[in-house]
Amino acid sequence: MAEHNEKGKFGEEQAIAFLKKLGYVILDCNWQYKKFEIDIVARDGEMLVVVEVKTRRNDEYGAPEMFVTKKKQRQLIKAINEYVVQKKLENEIRFDIVSVLAEGQLVVVEHIPDAFYAIVQ
């Protein structure tokens, strides 16, 4: 497995553990629609939560969450629209980011609820 794939998998594992501690129910991981992928689909109470996980070794070039571009946001919106259709869901949807900074043995996980909204220009 390529190093960036291993780093991404590690970050997703950290994010899942973190969200579970907060009481989230994980519904799907790495859910794909066409060329789009949702890292984590979870439920927080009745809210359906789309979680984009960004993992970096350091923040030399900016915090990990800074790398969730408008293009990526549009892709997540398209993917979750298809997800709710396929699963026949009617929940409200929220978009969160989980930032994982892993420098050596130190791992810092930051959760950003309502990181962006479905209206993206």
Enumerate residues 6+ apart whose C-beta is below 8 A from 66: none
What is the DSSP code (8-state) at residue 65? G
What predicted TM-score, i.e. pTM, was given to this entire model? 0.90
Domains in the chain with CATH codes: 3-116 (3.40.1350.10)
- Burial class of 88 by CB neighbour count within 10 A (0 to 12, 13 to 18, 19+): exposed
What pLDDT, in 10s, does the model give residues 42-63? 999 999 999 999 998 877 777 7
Please count the helices (runs of H) and the strands (runs of E) in the chain. 2, 5
Position 32 pLDDT exceeds 70: yes
- Burial class of 53 by CB neighbour count within 10 A (0 to 12, 13 to 18, 19+): buried
